[in-house]
Amino acid sequence: MALHLIIGNKNYSSWSFRPWLALKVAGIAFEETVISLEAKDFKVRVTALSGAGRVPVLLDGDVRIWETLSILEYLAEKFPAAGLWPKDVAARAHARAVASEMHAGFLPLRRHLPMNVARPVKSRALDEGAAADVARIEAIWSECRAKFGGPFLFGPFGAADAMYAPVIWRFHTYAVEVGAAARDYMRAVMDLPAWAEWRDAARRETWVLPHDEVDWPEVPRE
């Protein structure tokens, strides 16, 4: 039985993007179901799959995992050849630390620059909290690539890159100014075929979530 990933709108759902991208880049076969975050039956349908009532949810037979970082850990254990975490103990610990920091933090950035794949690239001034988050994320990227090698954070693409991928969308969509090293890293992730696949699907969606449209009531589209 194939893995089955339940996700929200590809245009907006940053949490859904993370395991989806990891699965695609790793070449792990899976089926997907998209449920709009504003669908009237969203909570009912998703709660039936996980008590949390949130996406993403990964189904593997009788196994159900409903939290993004836990999904990545499950995939790493089930498919060790995918190399989602570094083999080296120290590098693996570092990767888990920065992935957890992404998972638990950067709320000012998330709120100020919601993921919106279909929005045309246009700058938005950063508030103090978002600017501090950008600086910290740049520092993480620079340290990881300098210490563990590129083109991704720990050499080959892995779980830590999947966790930061929605931030790359945010930096790109809102034309956030970052240094050359950060741009190189963003380019490496954005050049992945899976990135283009998600982007194209997101731009075909017709759902609109006003709270994730910073230009509201305008809804600019590529």
Average pLDDT over residues 139-157: 96
- The yes-or-no verdict on residue 157 having pLDDT over 80 is yes
CA–CA dist 26, 33 (Å, integer): 19
Q: What is the CATH number of domain 89-199?
A: 1.20.1050.10
What tens digit of pLDDT does each residue of 53-108 get? 999 999 999 999 999 999 999 999 999 999 999 999 999 999 999 999 999 999 99
* pLDDT over 80 (residue 200): yes
Query: Looking at residue 1, what is its pLDDT?
Result: 65
pLDDT computed for residue 141 by the predictor: 98
Does the pLDDT value for residue 149 go beyond 90? no
- Mean of the per-residue pLDDT values of the chain: 96
The length of the chain, given as a count of residues: 222
- Treating both helix axes as pointing N-terminal to C-terminal, what angle do 180-190 and 128-148 enclose, rounded to 10 degrees? 80
Q: Is 33 helix (H, G, I), strand (E, B) or coil?
A: strand
pTM over 0.85: yes
Mean pLDDT of 119-146: 97
Q: Where are the domains of the chain?
A: 3-82, 89-199
Q: How far apart are CA 169 and CA 154, in angstroms?
A: 20
Which of 3.40.50.11890, 3.40.630.40, 3.40.30.10, 3.90.1150.10 would CATH assign to domain 3-82? Answer: 3.40.30.10
